[in-house]
Amino acid sequence: MLNWLTIDWILLVIVVWLLIGVAGIVALRRFRFVARVLFPIGGFVCLSLAGLALQALGNTPETAILPIGLPQLPFHLRLDNLSAFFLLLIGGVGAGVSLFAAGYFRKGAGTPPGLLCLEYHIFLASMVLVVLADDAYAFMVAWETMALSSFFLVTANHKVPEVQKAGFLYLLIAHIGAIAILLCFGVLQANTGDYTFDNMRAMTLTPFWASTAFLLALFGFGAKAGMLPLHIWLPEAHPAAPSPVSALMSAVMLKTAIYGLLRISFDLLHTHVWWWGGLLLALGLLTALFGVVFAAVQTDMKRLLAYSSIENIGLLLAGMGLTLIFHAYQMPALAALSLTAVLYHTASHAFFKSLLFLGTGSVLHATSERNLGRLGGLMHFMPWVAWLVLIGVFASSGLPPFSGFVSEWLLLQSFLFTPGLPDSFLNMLIPIVAAMIALIAALAGYAMVKFFGVIFLGQPREEKLKEAHDAGIWEKIGMIWLAAWCIALGLFPNFLIGLIDSVTVSLVGAGLAQQAQSSGWLFLVPSSIERASFAPLLFLLGIALGCLLAYVLLRRLYHGGLRRAAPWDCGHPWQTARMQDTAEGFGQPIRQMFEPFMRLTRKIPTPFDKEPVYKVTIEDHFWFWLYLPIAKVIEFVAGQVGRLQQGRISIYLLYSFITLLFMLFLVQK
């Protein structure tokens, strides 16, 4: 008992989760028990997982073999630095989301609570197994379990037709991706028939096959991550799912795809070609730009966040592309810098996006409204949720001193170093890329202002909003936990960079931690103190002083009184809530500028219309240009194949007969 390895304890965590799930099934409809006992226990188990992962970071890899599954084909598990880092995220985010879920799930909605509890904990356990898996078989089993459990979670309200549609779309794309991943493992094992990652690590592939494996992995994991053009399921599935589930999916499940891509491109493949990085960079930037533009024009709060997730995944992919380029050109220090930025952003996005999704969950519960056009002014009625979401919004917009700033700053820093590359063509291209990243970051801020402003500021657009209640105690605890991390990661970046160090050392052979802390613990220095540094605590001090000064000046020098007026009054004599800026109005400039990105249908009323209705729908070009044609072709082919199905037994027997004759003929040859 006492000489258990960390990995054994992590397996115990999985077992406890599964037991909680079973307990949920036993107490299928005892709502209070499931919500108040099982989910919090699951949350504390998450916390212990995070602790275990913290302990494992920087240690030598541990392995374990589980004799389950098919005979002769046990599960190989391995806990190394990369998996420990992602386990840390699963544990950290999972804890907050589980605690929130304890207060979130209500009676009477779709799936019974006990079943949700089972699916939720299986989802968590499968993500842990994905990260731990050390052979293709275990990986695929865990990967598919993850897809299936999240499918059932997405379709928790399965009686709603849109939810069904979203669920099936998700399942379809998840499976197409899984096929690509399976093929990728097939290439990686290089015809040895041994599917353990150890064997794949030992293989050295020719550049052609290595590129094939990389492209397959990119396609497969891209489908899970929401990379263009496989992003189509994401804005459908995230709004359909219950908020804690969308939080977990966006914060952690998308990251398992990042994990997989990192695992394959840096750990299992040894050949590196520079154009992989270029491709990843281009795809990542396109994804990010596309995501952020669509986020800015959404009118559904969860869709907005879903598109924002696409944007962040794009940034992560772009950063990973840069790392691949540096790695291919044998520049370990710079590769370490950009990989650190990627991992930092992974962590940061995990925390703030789950916080934001949970916030939308609380708003949804209080108002039963997802449409931004019917929200507004909630800051007065739900101050806790509003302030906590504000922290997430700051982090998401990349404002200092929150976590998002550090990661985006590191990313930009790594792009600014590219003039050191030996390829002049890339050197010319990269400044444009850096400019695009700046554009994306700015647009992300724009989308976040819209998100927060339209929901929480101004006047309530509906009468019922005035009865909105603040979040319950469990929901608050969950959100406070996540918000605390958004702040902590922003204030003490060197702490997380120290943790990331062991990962980058094992993947690209260099670390950033020593450099980052070279000018004392106060400063974050990615390359040299002359070039750039960031001291979050000093910055916070500055902001605090500024605010204090402004406050004192206002109170002393200005008339000093507190004047209450209708918000966003703008000096009008009278004002209704309908006169405020709306979600459509706020997004309109972006819509105008980026019109070619989207497929707009607008219904504009004539001046003489008695009951004018303005309606704009924004759809995705990819849906019409890519998915529908493919669907048509498949339908046609399926119809042709369907002709085989005559319905007559004799015909079916004839098919087997002909096949048999053909086989015998082949045997004879």
Shortest spacing between CB 656 and other proteins, in angstroms: 8
Q: Which 3-state string (H, E, C) describes 49-104? A: HHHHHHHHCCCCCEEEEECCCCCCCCEEEEECHHHHHHHHHHHHHHHHHHHHHHHH
Q: Which is nearer to other proteins, 387 or 657 (CB)?
A: 657
CA distances (Å), 375 to each of 360, 484, 586, in order?
11, 26, 14
Closer CB to other proteins, 641 or 667, in the complex? 667
Give the position of tokens 């072709």.
633
> 550 vs 660, which CB is nearer to other proteins?
660
In angstroms, give the least distance from the CB of 660 to other proteins: 7
Question: In the complex with other proteins, which residue's Cβ is closer, 538 or 661?
Answer: 661
Of 2 and 667, which has the nearer Cβ to other proteins? 667
CA nearest neighbour of 409 among 522, 525, 313 = 525
Whether the Cβ atoms of residue 512 and residue 336 lie closer than 8 Å to each other: yes
Tell the smallest beta-carbon distance from residue 485 to other proteins (Å): 54
- Output 565 or 649, the one with its CB closest to other proteins: 649
Q: CB 374 → other proteins: shortest distance, Å?
A: 44
Alpha-carbon gap, residue 479 to 488, rounded angstroms: 14
Closest approach of other proteins to the CB of residue 642, in Å: 9
With binding defined as CB under 8 A, does residue 668 bind other proteins? yes
Site map 74..103 versus other proteins, x via CB under 8 A: ------------------------------
> Which residue is listed with tokens 């799912």?
241
Chain centroid, CA 99 distance in Å: 20
Minimum gap (Å) between residue 29 Cβ and other proteins? 37
Closer to other proteins by Cβ: residue 562 or 649: 649
Compute the least distance from the CB of residue 634 to other proteins, in Å. 18
Helix (H, G, I), strand (E, B) or coil at 534: strand
The answer to whether 279 and 325 have CB atoms below 8 angstroms apart is no
Q: How far apart are CA 135 and CA 190, in angstroms?
A: 14
Cα–Cα distance between 246 and 78 in angstroms, integer?
28
Enter the tokens of residue 668. Answer: 């004879």
Q: Kindly determine how many residues on this chain lie close enough to bind other proteins according to the rule CB under 8 A.
A: 16
Q: Residue 640 or residue 668: which is nearer to other proteins going by CB? A: 668
Label residue 407 exposed, middle or buried (CB < 10 Å: 0-12, 13-18, 19+).
Answer: buried
Residue (26 or 661) nearer to other proteins, CB: 661
Cβ atoms of 377 and 460 closer than 8 Å: yes
Looking at residue 166, its amino acid is A
By CB under 8 A, tell whether 564 contacts other proteins: no
Neighbours of 606 (CB within 10 A): 6
| Contact by Cβ (8 Å): 457, 376 | yes
Min. distance of Cβ 666 from other proteins in angstroms? 10
606 near other proteins, judged by CB under 8 A = no
**String of contacts with other proteins for each residue 434-463, x by CB under 8 A:** ------------------------------
Q: How many other CB atoms are there within 10 angstroms of residue 608's CB atom?
A: 6
Closer residue to other proteins in complex, CB, 558/665: 665
Dihedral, CA of residue 408, residue 411, residue 417 and residue 420, to nearest 10: -160
Least distance to other proteins, CB of residue 640, Å: 15
| Closest separation in Å from C-beta 189 to other proteins | 35
The nearer residue to other proteins, 537 or 654, going by C-beta atoms, is 654
Q: How far apart are CA 186 and CA 75, in angstroms?
A: 17
| Rounded least distance, CB 643 to other proteins, Å | 11
3-state secondary structure labels for all residues of 342-402: HHHHHHHHHHHHHHHHHHHHHHHHHHCCCEHHHCCCCCCCCHHHHHHHHHHHHHHHCCCCC
Site string for other proteins, 638-667 (x = CB under 8 A): -------xxxxxx--xx-xx--xx--xx-x
Binding site for other proteins (CB under 8 A): 645-650, 653-654, 656-657, 660-661, 664-665, 667-668
